Structure 1
Amino acid sequence: MYTYMEYLQKCFYKSTNWNEDNIFSNITATSEALIDFPIPNGCKLDISSKSTEHSASSFTLSNRHVINGSIAYLYASMPLRSSMNTREISLQDAIAGFRIIEPYVYSPGSLNETRQRNKKQTLLYGRMYFPGSALEAMMIKQISPYTQLLVKCINNPQMNSNGTLIAYLQKNTPTYSRELIYSTNEALIGFRCLYNFGSFDKSLYTSNNSHFIPKFDNSILSVGSEIWYAAKSMSPGLSTALRYSTRSTSTGKPLTMTLACNPILGQMSSAYTVKTSVRSTFSSRYDFNFFSYRSNLSLGFELYNYSNSPDSLFSGPVNQHQHGSSRPGVKERRKSPHHVPEAHFTSPLLPAEKTSLILNPIQRADNYYHINPSLLPSHNSMSTENGSRLMDESVMSAFQNSVNKSNFSSVLKASTSLDDKVLRFLWEGRMKDFLVSTGVKLSLNPITHTPEFNRFGISFSYSC
């Protein structure tokens, strides 16, 4: 579960049209969210408040072995109107889970507005830990619509140099991203790049039509690499990765495949993640080392649970599910610039007055969407090939709308690793106005071969 400050940072990225999925460090974020999700340790309470549209504060208290806590402040030069509190936020936006990769989809008509209104926006963040005098800070400075400077620093008296500073100069465009990185720790210098291959339509960025329907690319291939060099220890580092994302044209279900390799360490990792239905996702990952011949197979899944009011699943506006959406029926949805209009469907299983509902394909016997033919252009004005493409895009849009519109109350995550013999369970959901996260990590004792608890905890988060 994201902390409130992390959530506000994502809202800032969304407001400035900054695509986090187009960064090399996030190329394997989908499989990691389903397999390597963190388990709370001890008891933790996080209370946050958004005092104005530009500033927010947060107080955290935990009792992991000893009672400790922190105080954080955040300021943004632009109003974060898309942010929600814990009562209104969509569960999909508050939890790290499956991510639909769309590096080409930007807010239509809003990019020019971003260039005019949101020039050189700034976000400042700071946190102080107690007991002790450890500090951390972050600054995001937008240089241009596609370029930003990210600076992170930590000050801790227990560190040898009392602190560390890391600076990222990032350029993020729809077709590629590049990063120059410098860290004062070991005088580390790094370079990252990520390139996207697929059909690229410039009309996505020049269209001013508010009723524009995003054109989902069925297949996107992203290839990236990073290279590091530590000047003090003269140690190099190199890794490369690729990501393939596509959608089924018959059901609209997205899937993501990744392959990462570190030739210096001889480590290779491949992952496959698929959204099997509106409320479930499955992921598998296979790791192999060329030097030690050691391998490991990891499996993970997430299963969402609907709220007690099933009517809310088909009422209210459509959520965008990209950090800033609210639960249906709780608050009037602010119309998103890249809002996907609902497609209308017809089904013999439903009465006539229900034909406009978006159906989960798992609810149908044939596991397929059925689109109202009236939505498609006439054959006289459109070729069969174009009509078939429009139908495929409507199916994919419908599945995404169905996911975004669903009002989930909780999610159950589980993962296991055959080589490490580790089992993780995590439950995250809503209790009244609180977001709760609790989980347990089990491992097999190598001597007694009995399961034992490695970690157990619960965290409460509240924001207003």
Structure 2
Amino acid sequence: MLDFMDNVQNAFYEVSHWNVDNSYGALNATARALLDFHTPKGLRLQISSLAAPNFATSYTLGSVGVVDGSVSYLYSSLPLKQEFRSSHLELHRVIGGYRTLQELRRPDEHWWWEVWHNGARIDRRVDTLLYGRIFLPQSTLEALYLRRLSPTRQLKITAVSDSTLNNGGTILALLQNDVGKYSTEYMYSTDSALMGVRGLYNFGTDPRVEPAAPAGAQELVEPVHGRFSAGAELYYGLLNKSGGISTGLRFTTLPNHTGFPYTMTLTLNPLMGNLSSTYAVKAGSNLALCSRFDFNFYSYESELQLGCELWRRRHNTDVDWAAKKVRADWKRPTVAPDDDVSGILKARVDQNWRIGVLWEGRIKEMLFTLGASLDLRKREQIFRGVGIELQYSS
């Protein structure tokens, strides 16, 4: 389940019209959500609040052997008016699962961001997000500075201060460009003076260009039901004199696809010899399945993982449905649109019989995540970890 502050950051991206899925880093987002989910250990409680449309706070307390926690604050220059209360929050916004990509959006015009007063241009629109969190008792500090430089450009700077790291911390700067048809990213990290570049290209129509129909044609343009994308990344560390390269392909169906939505990806790292392929399908309105096969053509080692996500819903009678319909027509709903969800089950297993299980949902006004990781090959200690996370936000 997404952290409260991660959900607030996603809301900032949404309000500022930034597509987080149109990047090479998000190529395998669906497979990661269904196969690489985090299983909690011990007990963790998070209490958060959007005190104002531009300011959020969050406090976390955990117990995994020792008591630890964190305090975080977030400021957004854009007012965030989405629903963040845990009792009303849509679970689809905080529970990662199968990601249905939307149609590419045409970028905002540059003149939309200009500010004029008395016939004179006085400034440009600047959307900024600031975030900071301190971990206790380690006194580790992390910070985020996010700024929209233009309708197609964004600067993201993250920093971590920790005495256990080299030079006492690290800073990562990322300059992102997204014009819809393609996106590019330029990276620099103080850790090993790492420099990198990556990009993603979407085949098909260009959202910046209006489709032109032939003269005299009366037929509508045939809609596109899928999107094929290709990307690559290249990085090099100036201090350790080492680098890397990878490339990837993705095909995914769009919302207007009439059959089962599915996503296929293929990524290759030629220097390390790693080849990875994934296939995810939304087999029903409440069920998603995913598989991933990794192979190294230098060592001939391989790995297979399978995962699923099942949304369990309550069986409401026709009378209950009619009553809810009448209440929705006469007054504003006081519950979330998916209040009929009783829980979400996520599970994964690999060829070595390592299993991860999650049960997520809402109890009254609190979100919960109950998880366990198992290793069936270790008969003397099958359970590797069990935990529960509770979130309350107002």
Give the TM-score normalised by the residue count of structure 1: 0.74
Which is helix-richer, 1 or 2?
Answer: 1
Pairing partner for 1:154 from 149, 153, 160: 160
Distance 2:102 2:254 in 1: 11
- The aligned residue for residue 439 of structure 1 is 371
Q: Is the 8 A contact 1:19 1:103 kept in 2?
A: no
Q: Is the 8 A contact 1:17 1:106 kept in 2?
A: no
- The aligned residue for residue 61 of structure 1 is 61
Report whether the alignment pairs 1:291 with 2:320.
Answer: no
Distance 1:312 1:10 in 2: 32
Report whether the alignment pairs 1:421 with 2:335.
Answer: no
Q: Give the Å deviation of 1:35.
A: 1.0
SS at match of 2:66: coil
- The structure-2 alpha-carbon separation of the partners of 1:316 and 1:161, relative to structure 1 and needing over 3 Å to count, comes to farther
Pairing partner for 1:453 from 372, 378, 383: 383
Distance 1:199 1:224 in 2: 17
- The aligned residue for residue 258 of structure 1 is 265
Distance 1:174 1:99 in 2: 18
Distance 1:296 1:12 in 2: 37
Q: Is the 8 A contact 1:136 1:152 kept in 2?
A: yes
SS at match of 1:22: coil
Q: Give the Å deviation of 1:160.
A: 2.5
Pairing partner for 1:270 from 277, 282, 286: 277
Aligned partner letter, 1:264: L
Report whether the alignment pairs 1:411 with 2:341.
Answer: no
Aligned partner letter, 2:286: R
Q: Is the 8 A contact 1:425 1:441 kept in 2?
A: yes
Aligned partner letter, 1:426: L
Aligned partner letter, 2:59: F
- The aligned residue for residue 129 of structure 1 is 135
- The aligned residue for residue 22 of structure 2 is 22
What runs of 5+ residues in structure 1 fail to find an aligned partner?
Answer: 206-214, 319-327, 333-403
Q: Is the 8 A contact 2:54 2:75 kept in 1?
A: yes
Deviations 1:307-340 (A, max 9, x none): 464656995999xxxxxxxxx93369xxxxxxxx
Aligned partner letter, 2:275: M
Q: Is the 8 A contact 1:103 1:174 kept in 2?
A: no
SS at match of 1:238: strand
Give the TM-score normalised by the residue count of structure 2: 0.87
- The structure-2 alpha-carbon separation of the partners of 1:312 and 1:260, relative to structure 1 and needing over 3 Å to count, comes to farther
Distance 2:334 2:112 in 1: 29
1:99-248 equivalences under 5 Å are 99-102=99-102, 104-105=104-105, 115=113, 119-202=125-208, 217-246=224-253
Q: Is the 8 A contact 1:22 1:103 kept in 2?
A: no
Deviations 1:134-172 (A, max 9, x none): 100001011001101000000011222101000000011
Distance 1:439 1:452 in 2: 14
Distance 1:260 1:316 in 2: 50
Deviations 1:408-438 (A, max 9, x none): 33210011001x3211110000000100001
Aligned partner letter, 1:411: I
Aligned partner letter, 2:230: V
Distance 1:168 1:94 in 2: 25
Q: Give the Å deviation of 1:445.
A: 3.4
Cα-Cα RMSD: 2.8
- The aligned residue for residue 81 of structure 1 is 81
Distance 2:389 2:247 in 1: 36
- The aligned residue for residue 13 of structure 2 is 13
- The aligned residue for residue 35 of structure 1 is 35
Q: Is the 8 A contact 1:90 1:407 kept in 2?
A: no
SS at match of 2:21: helix
Distance 1:204 1:154 in 2: 44
Distance 1:248 1:276 in 2: 14
- The structure-2 alpha-carbon separation of the partners of 1:463 and 1:111, relative to structure 1 and needing over 3 Å to count, comes to farther
Distance 2:275 2:204 in 1: 25
Aligned residues between the structures: 370
Pairing partner for 1:329 from 328, 333, 341: 333
Deviations 1:277-304 (A, max 9, x none): 1111001111101011011111100000
Aligned partner letter, 2:42: G
Which is strand-richer, 1 or 2?
Answer: 2
Distance 1:148 1:89 in 2: 28
